[in-house]
Structure 1
Amino acid sequence: MQINQHARLSTAPMMDWTDRHCRYLHRLMSRNALLYTEMVTAPALVRGDARHLLRFDPAEQPVALQLGGSDPVELAQAARMGADEGYAEINLNVGCPSDRVQSGCFGAILMQRPALVAECVSAMIGAQGVEVTVKCRIGVDDQNPADVLPDFLARVSAAGVNRFQIHARKAWLQGLSPKENRDIPPLDYDLVIAMKALFPHLHLSVNGGITTLDQARGFLDRGLDGVMIGRAAYHTPADILLGADRLIYGDTHATTAEAVVHAMLPYIEAHLASGGKLGQVTRHMLGLFAGKPGARGWRRILSEEGHKDGAGPHTVLAALAAVTDLQEAAEL
């Protein structure tokens, strides 16, 4: 399957969430969805000797590296490093509204500088052979998205980018926190759909506020090429990812949350053997049974016991027993 087809459904890059342990878990749930790393800044890679941030398990593929930055030379070097590590895609962040990102002149503030974005992606494309994509907003602050977004897409695509992930909200760089920027600015899905009509040759994915696979199918049916889901894929991963292969890709692959837990155990054992802590992995598993009988016990055991000395696969199995015992009781 080509990466454009995998991109029919993707999990959004989310700081502190979509690390390699999270992605390994998500890959066990869907063998087709495209997974994204947390944002890694180009300066950290090029100047900060942070190449360890690029580590991933080959089982995560297809996986995309998201970079943050605004210096074409540094981004080109970082993109080359990502390509050398084997990532299937290199993505440029033009959507994050945090103060830290703004002070570095990257993220959503780059919506105001499309010429610089075009220069950056051109350098990234020229430095290596992996596809470069861009995740952006529909605009920032007082910009008129209906004017800004088509101009942005035209300029950046002219530099060689053919695939964009569009968060269908403005970002307010002053006055709203990053959390508020994920909820308060109104969503404008129709504008994103209009961009597909305006740029039929581009692969466009919509992002923002999407919480179900039925919604995702609806956007695909309306002509968009892909859907990117963030918080719902993290907090209720079973609802999004367990059915994705069948509903989005027409794949007969199917598994269960319980089977995923068992499949995680060898990974957990290897992580502990390398000096890691159980909670570094299981914190991403807390929502696995969200909305199901026993979910509270599952979360409680992993949260309370997972950080203790000696915690390991037996801890996870004890938490799973809290789920299965209640499910069996509910069926009686």
Structure 2
Amino acid sequence: MSHVQELVDLLRLESIGVNRFRGGCQDLGFRNLFGGQVLGQSLSAASQTLPKGEWAPHSLHAYFLRPGNVIDSIEFEVDCVRDGRSFAMRQITASQNGKAILTMMCSFQHPEEGFEHQDTMPDVQGPEGLVSQLELSRMFKDKFPERVRDIYTADKPIEIRAIDPINIFAPQKQDPIKYAWMKADAPLTDDPMVHASVLTYATDFNLIGTSMMPHGVSFAQKGMQVASLDHAIWFHRPVKMDEWLLYSLDSPSASSGRGYCRGQVYNQQGELVASVAQEGLIRKVDVADNPAKKSTEK
């Protein structure tokens, strides 16, 4: 089984009642549960409550309320807010051990024709010949803590190849602009909702890191408290996650311990398929003076 198929199975969820679902967890070596997983699972849960017909997600807006853990299962409760002729709205609450860890509003639309325009795709190097983030992790394997070394250097469901990647162990100050190619590690089913859910999962990679670039810091350094606070996606056009997509990222602002990041996702035909926005916690703490601040509790 390919690693992306394992991810698809993770996002599929188990029905445990009317508009209620349960999902497992994936350990990516972070202190807490990876936010992209809960985003993708929440979208999957919402899609399973839609009325019959052809529906596609057009936007989602989520808040991360508490850090999740990678041990306990997650329960998803979907409120069917509205079913219209063109749009359907869902509210999703993801909970772990009886406490909400994420809330999301998600809107779906029947496909229709209309006016079209878009930003031009950035003229950057293609994915061919670029070193993947996994290859970089294996090159710096000895720098990872022993407890997460095998996790960081294991095969991944999403291959990511950054243009001019930064050294997370010795970052240099630079403009908050980043380009990364990404795609699933194997072909996916033709189901558009599977591709949308996997894209949702993948968009949580690289965002917060972009907001730290002007400050010469990274999540891998001691004393950095980093966590996603909210996340929004607009789905503009059909997406194929088993083909290369360019993730064009920037961070227009950081203030009050928060970094604001934006992303645009293009396919290799130059079509803008999705836009992303996120704020994340990027807080420098004095671990020596207050060890309790090692926690990523917001």
Bin for the TM-score computed over the shorter chain: under 0.3
Relative CO higher for 1 or 2, CA cutoff 8 Å, sep ≥ 6?
Answer: 2
Tell me the TM-score normalized by structure 2: 0.25
Which protein has the bigger strand share? 2
Which protein has the bigger helix share? 1
Tell me the TM-score normalized by structure 1: 0.23
